[in-house]
Amino acid sequence: METPLPFGWKPLNIDRYDDTTDLDEHIDLYVTQVNLYTNEDAIMCRVFPTSLKGAALAWYTQLPPWLVDSFDTLVRRFTVQYATSQPHHITSAALASLRQGDDEPLRTFMERFASISVKIQNLNLEVALHAMLMALKLGPFVDSLCRRPPPDMDELRAQATGYIHIEEHSTFCDQVRGKSQAKPDHGYKDKMKVTNDSQFKKASRENKGGRYDFYTLLNAPRVHILEEASNANLLTLPPPGHSPNSADKSKHC
Protein backbone atom coordinates (compact mmCIF):
# COMPACT_ATOMS: atom_id res chain seq x y z
CA MET A 1 0.00 0.00 0.00
CA GLU A 2 3.03 2.30 0.42
CA THR A 3 4.18 1.86 -3.19
CA PRO A 4 3.71 5.19 -5.03
CA LEU A 5 1.44 5.25 -8.06
CA PRO A 6 2.95 5.99 -11.49
CA PHE A 7 3.14 9.58 -12.72
CA GLY A 8 -0.07 10.74 -14.38
CA TRP A 9 -2.17 7.98 -12.82
CA LYS A 10 -5.92 8.35 -13.41
CA PRO A 11 -8.86 6.45 -11.93
CA LEU A 12 -9.74 3.25 -13.81
CA ASN A 13 -12.46 3.52 -16.42
CA ILE A 14 -14.22 0.23 -15.65
CA ASP A 15 -17.37 -0.79 -13.80
CA ARG A 16 -16.63 -1.82 -10.24
CA TYR A 17 -17.28 -5.46 -9.40
CA ASP A 18 -20.06 -6.28 -6.90
CA ASP A 19 -20.23 -10.12 -7.25
CA THR A 20 -23.09 -10.02 -9.81
CA THR A 21 -21.14 -9.72 -13.07
CA ASP A 22 -18.57 -11.88 -14.88
CA LEU A 23 -15.58 -12.30 -12.57
CA ASP A 24 -13.08 -13.29 -15.29
CA GLU A 25 -14.12 -10.38 -17.48
CA HIS A 26 -13.62 -7.96 -14.59
CA ILE A 27 -10.09 -9.24 -13.95
CA ASP A 28 -9.23 -8.98 -17.65
CA LEU A 29 -10.50 -5.40 -17.82
CA TYR A 30 -8.66 -4.47 -14.65
CA VAL A 31 -5.31 -5.90 -15.78
CA THR A 32 -5.66 -4.28 -19.22
CA GLN A 33 -6.30 -0.84 -17.76
CA VAL A 34 -3.54 -0.96 -15.12
CA ASN A 35 -1.01 -2.24 -17.66
CA LEU A 36 -1.42 1.02 -19.56
CA TYR A 37 0.62 2.56 -16.71
CA THR A 38 2.56 -0.30 -15.17
CA ASN A 39 2.73 -4.04 -14.58
CA GLU A 40 4.41 -3.72 -11.17
CA ASP A 41 2.95 -6.35 -8.86
CA ALA A 42 2.67 -4.10 -5.80
CA ILE A 43 0.67 -1.46 -7.69
CA MET A 44 -1.59 -4.13 -9.19
CA CYS A 45 -2.44 -5.19 -5.62
CA ARG A 46 -2.75 -1.65 -4.25
CA VAL A 47 -5.18 -0.41 -6.92
CA PHE A 48 -7.34 -3.55 -7.03
CA PRO A 49 -9.78 -2.56 -4.25
CA THR A 50 -10.69 0.59 -6.24
CA SER A 51 -12.27 -1.74 -8.81
CA LEU A 52 -14.60 -3.29 -6.21
CA LYS A 53 -17.82 -2.25 -4.53
CA GLY A 54 -20.54 -3.66 -2.29
CA ALA A 55 -20.01 -7.16 -0.96
CA ALA A 56 -16.81 -7.61 -2.97
CA LEU A 57 -15.21 -4.53 -1.40
CA ALA A 58 -16.35 -5.67 2.05
CA TRP A 59 -14.68 -9.04 1.45
CA TYR A 60 -11.41 -7.35 0.48
CA THR A 61 -11.30 -5.07 3.52
CA GLN A 62 -11.73 -8.07 5.83
CA LEU A 63 -8.70 -9.96 4.49
CA PRO A 64 -6.16 -10.66 7.26
CA PRO A 65 -2.92 -8.62 7.14
CA TRP A 66 0.00 -10.10 5.19
CA LEU A 67 -2.29 -12.66 3.53
CA VAL A 68 -1.65 -11.33 0.02
CA ASP A 69 1.96 -11.73 -1.08
CA SER A 70 1.43 -11.16 -4.83
CA PHE A 71 -1.22 -10.19 -7.34
CA ASP A 72 -1.54 -13.84 -8.42
CA THR A 73 -2.42 -14.76 -4.83
CA LEU A 74 -4.99 -11.97 -4.69
CA VAL A 75 -6.60 -13.08 -7.94
CA ARG A 76 -6.65 -16.72 -6.82
CA ARG A 77 -8.36 -15.89 -3.51
CA PHE A 78 -10.74 -13.51 -5.26
CA THR A 79 -11.69 -16.20 -7.80
CA VAL A 80 -12.27 -18.83 -5.11
CA GLN A 81 -14.43 -16.43 -3.11
CA TYR A 82 -16.77 -15.65 -6.01
CA ALA A 83 -16.52 -18.85 -8.04
CA THR A 84 -20.22 -19.57 -7.56
CA SER A 85 -21.12 -16.13 -8.92
CA GLN A 86 -19.49 -16.77 -12.28
CA PRO A 87 -21.90 -17.14 -15.23
CA HIS A 88 -22.04 -20.36 -17.20
CA HIS A 89 -19.15 -20.49 -19.67
CA ILE A 90 -19.74 -21.62 -23.24
CA THR A 91 -17.90 -24.79 -24.24
CA SER A 92 -16.97 -26.24 -27.61
CA ALA A 93 -20.21 -28.25 -27.52
CA ALA A 94 -22.01 -25.05 -28.57
CA LEU A 95 -20.31 -25.29 -31.98
CA ALA A 96 -21.86 -28.70 -32.65
CA SER A 97 -25.31 -27.20 -33.20
CA LEU A 98 -24.12 -24.70 -35.83
CA ARG A 99 -25.27 -25.24 -39.41
CA GLN A 100 -24.91 -23.01 -42.44
CA GLY A 101 -28.29 -22.29 -44.04
CA ASP A 102 -28.92 -23.27 -47.67
CA ASP A 103 -29.05 -19.61 -48.74
CA GLU A 104 -26.80 -18.24 -45.99
CA PRO A 105 -23.71 -16.37 -47.26
CA LEU A 106 -20.33 -17.53 -45.97
CA ARG A 107 -19.74 -14.11 -44.35
CA THR A 108 -22.91 -14.41 -42.23
CA PHE A 109 -22.03 -17.93 -41.13
CA MET A 110 -18.46 -16.98 -40.20
CA GLU A 111 -19.77 -14.07 -38.12
CA ARG A 112 -22.02 -16.48 -36.21
CA PHE A 113 -19.17 -18.95 -35.81
CA ALA A 114 -16.81 -16.24 -34.53
CA SER A 115 -19.35 -14.83 -32.04
CA ILE A 116 -19.54 -18.25 -30.35
CA SER A 117 -15.93 -19.42 -30.67
CA VAL A 118 -14.53 -16.21 -29.15
CA LYS A 119 -16.44 -16.99 -25.93
CA ILE A 120 -14.90 -20.46 -25.61
CA GLN A 121 -11.77 -20.46 -23.48
CA ASN A 122 -8.76 -22.33 -24.87
CA LEU A 123 -10.65 -23.51 -27.94
CA ASN A 124 -8.78 -26.38 -29.58
CA LEU A 125 -8.07 -25.82 -33.29
CA GLU A 126 -8.93 -29.38 -34.27
CA VAL A 127 -12.26 -29.14 -32.46
CA ALA A 128 -13.04 -25.81 -34.14
CA LEU A 129 -12.06 -27.13 -37.58
CA HIS A 130 -14.13 -30.29 -37.17
CA ALA A 131 -17.16 -28.26 -36.09
CA MET A 132 -16.75 -25.93 -39.06
CA LEU A 133 -16.46 -28.79 -41.57
CA MET A 134 -19.64 -30.34 -40.18
CA ALA A 135 -21.51 -27.02 -40.27
CA LEU A 136 -20.52 -25.69 -43.71
CA LYS A 137 -22.31 -26.40 -46.97
CA LEU A 138 -20.31 -28.42 -49.48
CA GLY A 139 -18.29 -26.15 -51.73
CA PRO A 140 -14.85 -24.73 -52.57
CA PHE A 141 -14.16 -23.52 -49.01
CA VAL A 142 -14.78 -26.96 -47.52
CA ASP A 143 -12.61 -28.54 -50.22
CA SER A 144 -9.82 -26.09 -49.34
CA LEU A 145 -10.00 -26.90 -45.62
CA CYS A 146 -9.82 -30.64 -46.35
CA ARG A 147 -6.87 -30.29 -48.72
CA ARG A 148 -4.89 -27.84 -46.59
CA PRO A 149 -5.99 -27.70 -42.93
CA PRO A 150 -4.94 -24.36 -41.35
CA PRO A 151 -2.18 -24.48 -38.71
CA ASP A 152 -3.98 -22.03 -36.37
CA MET A 153 -7.17 -20.03 -35.92
CA ASP A 154 -5.71 -16.95 -37.60
CA GLU A 155 -5.01 -18.91 -40.79
CA LEU A 156 -8.51 -20.41 -40.62
CA ARG A 157 -10.04 -16.92 -40.54
CA ALA A 158 -7.72 -15.78 -43.34
CA GLN A 159 -8.79 -18.67 -45.58
CA ALA A 160 -12.43 -17.91 -44.86
CA THR A 161 -11.93 -14.24 -45.72
CA GLY A 162 -10.50 -15.15 -49.13
CA TYR A 163 -13.48 -17.34 -50.01
CA ILE A 164 -15.91 -14.72 -48.68
CA HIS A 165 -14.47 -12.22 -51.17
CA ILE A 166 -14.73 -14.76 -54.00
CA GLU A 167 -18.35 -15.56 -53.12
CA GLU A 168 -19.38 -11.92 -52.86
CA HIS A 169 -17.63 -11.04 -56.14
CA SER A 170 -19.39 -13.93 -57.88
CA THR A 171 -22.77 -12.80 -56.48
CA PHE A 172 -22.11 -9.24 -57.63
CA CYS A 173 -21.22 -10.41 -61.16
CA ASP A 174 -24.38 -12.54 -61.34
CA GLN A 175 -26.48 -9.54 -60.35
CA VAL A 176 -24.83 -7.32 -62.97
CA ARG A 177 -25.31 -9.94 -65.70
CA GLY A 178 -28.92 -10.47 -64.62
CA LYS A 179 -29.70 -6.76 -64.90
CA SER A 180 -28.00 -6.42 -68.29
CA GLN A 181 -30.00 -9.37 -69.63
CA ALA A 182 -33.29 -8.20 -68.16
CA LYS A 183 -33.18 -4.80 -69.85
CA PRO A 184 -33.06 -6.06 -73.48
CA ASP A 185 -35.85 -8.57 -72.75
CA HIS A 186 -38.02 -5.84 -71.34
CA GLY A 187 -37.32 -3.55 -74.30
CA TYR A 188 -37.98 -6.34 -76.76
CA LYS A 189 -41.38 -7.09 -75.22
CA ASP A 190 -42.34 -3.41 -75.27
CA LYS A 191 -41.21 -3.14 -78.89
CA MET A 192 -43.18 -6.25 -79.87
CA LYS A 193 -46.26 -4.90 -78.12
CA VAL A 194 -46.00 -1.58 -79.97
CA THR A 195 -45.46 -3.38 -83.28
CA ASN A 196 -48.37 -5.72 -82.64
CA ASP A 197 -50.68 -2.83 -81.68
CA SER A 198 -49.63 -0.87 -84.76
CA GLN A 199 -50.24 -3.84 -87.05
CA PHE A 200 -53.60 -4.51 -85.43
CA LYS A 201 -54.72 -0.88 -85.79
CA LYS A 202 -53.60 -0.86 -89.43
CA ALA A 203 -55.51 -4.08 -90.14
CA SER A 204 -58.56 -2.70 -88.35
CA ARG A 205 -58.53 0.40 -90.52
CA GLU A 206 -58.26 -1.72 -93.68
CA ASN A 207 -60.78 -4.43 -92.75
CA LYS A 208 -62.96 -2.61 -90.22
CA GLY A 209 -63.99 -6.04 -89.14
CA GLY A 210 -61.66 -6.90 -86.26
CA ARG A 211 -63.36 -9.06 -83.64
CA TYR A 212 -61.07 -8.20 -80.72
CA ASP A 213 -59.18 -5.22 -79.38
CA PHE A 214 -56.03 -7.18 -78.52
CA TYR A 215 -54.47 -10.42 -79.68
CA THR A 216 -52.05 -12.58 -77.66
CA LEU A 217 -48.47 -12.48 -78.93
CA LEU A 218 -47.43 -15.64 -80.80
CA ASN A 219 -44.72 -17.81 -79.23
CA ALA A 220 -44.00 -19.78 -82.43
CA PRO A 221 -43.68 -18.97 -86.17
CA ARG A 222 -47.01 -18.66 -88.02
CA VAL A 223 -46.11 -21.44 -90.43
CA HIS A 224 -45.73 -23.93 -87.57
CA ILE A 225 -49.00 -22.86 -86.01
CA LEU A 226 -50.86 -23.20 -89.33
CA GLU A 227 -49.31 -26.61 -89.97
CA GLU A 228 -50.41 -27.86 -86.54
CA ALA A 229 -53.88 -26.44 -87.05
CA SER A 230 -54.07 -28.10 -90.46
CA ASN A 231 -52.90 -31.46 -89.09
CA ALA A 232 -55.59 -31.25 -86.41
CA ASN A 233 -58.25 -30.46 -89.06
CA LEU A 234 -58.96 -27.09 -87.48
CA LEU A 235 -58.55 -25.23 -90.80
CA THR A 236 -59.88 -25.70 -94.32
CA LEU A 237 -57.19 -24.61 -96.74
CA PRO A 238 -58.21 -22.88 -99.96
CA PRO A 239 -57.25 -24.52 -103.27
CA PRO A 240 -53.82 -23.68 -104.58
CA GLY A 241 -53.73 -20.51 -106.60
CA HIS A 242 -51.86 -19.86 -109.83
CA SER A 243 -48.18 -20.38 -109.10
CA PRO A 244 -45.08 -20.55 -111.27
CA ASN A 245 -43.70 -23.99 -112.05
CA SER A 246 -40.75 -23.47 -109.70
CA ALA A 247 -43.03 -22.92 -106.67
CA ASP A 248 -43.36 -25.41 -103.79
CA LYS A 249 -46.70 -27.08 -104.54
CA SER A 250 -47.02 -28.37 -100.97
CA LYS A 251 -47.55 -24.88 -99.62
CA HIS A 252 -50.36 -22.39 -99.96
CA CYS A 253 -50.23 -18.63 -100.17
Q: What are the chain's domains?
A: 23-85 (no CATH), 92-177 (1.10.1200)
Residues 90 and 119: beta-carbon distance below 8 Å = yes
In Å, what is the CA distance from 163 to each residue of 113, 133, 225?
Answer: 15, 15, 51
Confidence category of residue 75, pLDDT binned at 50, 70, 90: very high
Select from 55, 34, 57 the least CA-distant residue to 44. Answer: 34
In Å, what is the CA distance from 72 to each residue of 42, 77, 78, 201, 214?
Answer: 11, 9, 10, 95, 89
- Averaged pLDDT of the chain: 80
pLDDT tens readout for residues 144-168: 888 888 888 888 888 888 888 888 8
pLDDT tens readout for residues 194-203: 555 565 555 5
Q: In the predicted model, is pLDDT for residue 219 greater than 80? A: no
pLDDT tens readout for residues 18-44: 878 888 889 999 999 999 889 899 999
- Looking at the DSSP bridge assignments, the partners of residue 17 are 52
CB proximity list for 157: less than 8 A, separation 6 or greater = 110, 114
Distance of CA 236 to the CA centre of its chain: 64
Query: Strands (DSSP E) along 157-198, which ranges?
Result: none
Q: In the predicted model, is pLDDT for residue 109 greater than 70? A: yes
CB proximity list for 111: less than 8 A, separation 6 or greater = none
Q: What are phi and psi of 52, to 5 degrees?
A: -115, 160
Q: Using CA atoms, how far apart are residues 53 and 51, in angstroms rounded to an integer?
A: 7
* End-to-end C-alpha distance for the chain, whole angstroms: 114
Give the percent of the chain with pLDDT over 70.
Answer: 81
Select from 63, 57, 60 the least CA-distant residue to 16. Answer: 57
